[in-house]
């Protein structure tokens, strides 16, 4: 990875810093932000990387070489080398950054800044913000289209999803959602958008070719995480005020099960092969591991204090 020091906009740390202290993580790692622990943890080895205050969202590139995580209090994104946890940069972004997402090509990262209604677009080869795009009121999270040409951004303030053109660097459309759309994911074929809404307490399913909502699925109490499994089989939705993960059949758009996982489920991500899901239980300081072949709890992991969001290579 090429790093350029671009003045005050970027703080880059020495290439040897931390190498002796941070062991390599296992193959197929799971990365988790620790909102109360001021860090990022790499599972299953429980390697904790010190980070900033109020760490919230996290993402990784498709190969699992780079990890980005937002500090919502510091208005920065922390960039780590995934192999050994070496801190590469602290990248200043907008006010109160929340969702961060790396595209499928590993070229760009998008950061939703709730406090100033913007999206920061980070160039990954240089780890610098190249564009700041006005998107609307209270953006929370985003997801790239499969071809990386579009970015869908939830706007909690006006109950819609902004569509950003990566080529034009501007909002080109707005799509309907429920009240206060929070988190979002997309089907592997790019035809459906799944939006969890904290105001209307439901999951809206958008048919992207027609720009229409085709299903509203009631949910447990919010706030919500949402994950479309990479195999296209399920959509998983958490509710931090409850104790279950809602499993939606992605073909039938019907709830097939609510899995009791424990108090405060929020971040949820499934493995690349769609066999396993990981759920962050924020107040319990645990991560539930779900066997998606049986829709049952396989085990629990203990990552540290306040696990909030999860990223997995191949499903960031």
Q: Looking at the structure, do residues 179 and 72 belong to the same domain, yes or no?
A: no
Is 178 contained in some domain? yes
Q: Looking at the structure, do residues 119 and 142 belong to the same domain, yes or no?
A: no
Q: Looking at the structure, do residues 59 and 103 belong to the same domain, yes or no?
A: yes
Is 310 contained in some domain? no
Does the pLDDT of residue 14 top 50, yes or no? no
Q: Looking at the structure, do residues 7 and 123 belong to the same domain, yes or no?
A: yes
Is 202 contained in some domain? no
**Domain tally, the chain:** 3
Does the pLDDT of residue 78 top 90, yes or no? yes
Is 63 contained in some domain? yes
Take residue 264 and report the two structure tokens written for it. Answer: 């405060």
Give the pLDDT confidence score for residue 310 in this predicted structure.
98
Give the pLDDT confidence score for residue 27 in this predicted structure.
58
* Domain housing 101: 1-131
For 106-150, the pLDDT digits (tens) are 999 999 999 999 999 999 999 999 999 999 999 999 999 999 999
Give the pLDDT confidence score for residue 228 in this predicted structure.
98
Is 204 contained in some domain? no
Is 90 contained in some domain? yes
Domain boundary among 131, 150, 168: 131
Higher pLDDT, 3 or 62: 62
Burial degree of 132 (CB within 10 A; 0-12, 13-18, 19+): middle
Q: Looking at the structure, do residues 2 and 122 belong to the same domain, yes or no?
A: yes
Q: Looking at the structure, do residues 165 and 241 belong to the same domain, yes or no?
A: no
Are 298 and 290 contacting, i.e. CB atoms less than 8 angstroms apart? yes
Q: What is the mean pLDDT of the chain?
A: 92
Residues in the chain: 316
Domain boundary among 164, 196, 228: 196
Q: Looking at the structure, do residues 37 and 95 belong to the same domain, yes or no?
A: yes
Take residue 159 and report the two structure tokens written for it. Answer: 């109950």
Strand partners, 226: 237
Does the pLDDT of residue 87 top 70, yes or no? yes
Take residue 267 and report the two structure tokens written for it. Answer: 């971040």
pLDDT, mean of residues 21-42: 77
Q: Looking at the structure, do residues 126 and 157 belong to the same domain, yes or no?
A: no
Per-residue confidence band for 3, with pLDDT thresholds at 50, 70 and 90:
very low
Q: Looking at the structure, do residues 167 and 264 belong to the same domain, yes or no?
A: no
CA distance 20 to 3: 21
Per-residue confidence band for 1, with pLDDT thresholds at 50, 70 and 90:
very low
CATH of the domain at 228: 2.40.10.500
CA distance 153 to 100: 11
Strands (E), 187-230: 192-197, 202-207, 212-218, 226-228
Q: Looking at the structure, do residues 5 and 116 belong to the same domain, yes or no?
A: yes
Is 281 contained in some domain? yes
Give the pLDDT confidence score for residue 50 in this predicted structure.
97
Q: Looking at the structure, do residues 78 and 125 belong to the same domain, yes or no?
A: yes
Does the pLDDT of residue 4 top 70, yes or no? no
Q: Looking at the structure, do residues 272 and 285 belong to the same domain, yes or no?
A: yes
pLDDT, mean of residues 240-262: 97
Is 201 contained in some domain? no
Distances (CA, A) of 287 to 244, 268, 272, 279, 282: 13, 9, 18, 5, 8
CATH of the domain at 95: 2.130.10.10
Domain boundary among 196, 211, 230: 196
């Amino acid at each position: 990875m090429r790093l350029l020091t671009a003045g005050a906009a970027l703080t880059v740390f020495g290439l040897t810093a931390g190498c002796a202290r941070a062991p390599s993580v296992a193959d197929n790692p799971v990365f988790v932000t620790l909102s109360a622990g001021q860090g990022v943890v790499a599972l299953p080895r429980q390697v904790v990387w010190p980070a900033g205050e109020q760490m919230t969202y996290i993402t990784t590139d498709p190969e699992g070489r780079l990890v980005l995580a937002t500090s919502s209090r510091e208005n920065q994104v922390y960039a780590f080398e995934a192999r050994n946890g070496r801190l590469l940069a602290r990248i200043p972004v907008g006010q109160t950054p929340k969702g961060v997402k790396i595209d499928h090509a590993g070229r760009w990262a998008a950061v939703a800044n709730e406090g100033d209604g913007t999206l920061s677009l980070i160039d990954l080869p240089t780890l610098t913000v190249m564009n700041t795009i006005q998107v609307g009121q209270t953006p929370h999270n985003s997801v790239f289209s499969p071809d990386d040409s579009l970015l869908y951004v939830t706007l909690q303030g006006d109950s819609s999803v902004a569509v950003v053109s990566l080529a034009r660097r501007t909002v080109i459309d707005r799509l309907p959602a429920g009240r206060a759309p929070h988190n979002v994911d997309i089907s592997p074929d790019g035809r459906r958008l799944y939006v969890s809404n904290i105001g209307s307490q439901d999951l809206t399913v958008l048919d992207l070719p027609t720009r229409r909502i085709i299903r509203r699925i009631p949910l447990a109490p919010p706030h919500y995480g949402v994950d479309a499994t990479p195999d296209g089989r399920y959509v998983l939705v958490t509710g931090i005020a409850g104790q279950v993960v809602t499993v939606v059949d992605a073909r039938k758009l019907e709830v097939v099960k609510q899995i009791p996982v424990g108090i405060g489920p929020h971040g949820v991500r499934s493995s690349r092969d769609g066999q396993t899901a990981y759920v962050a239980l924020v107040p319990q300081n645990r991560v539930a591991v779900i066997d998606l072949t049986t829709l049952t709890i396989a085990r629990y992991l203990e990552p540290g204090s306040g696990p909030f969001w999860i990223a997995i290579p191949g499903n960031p």
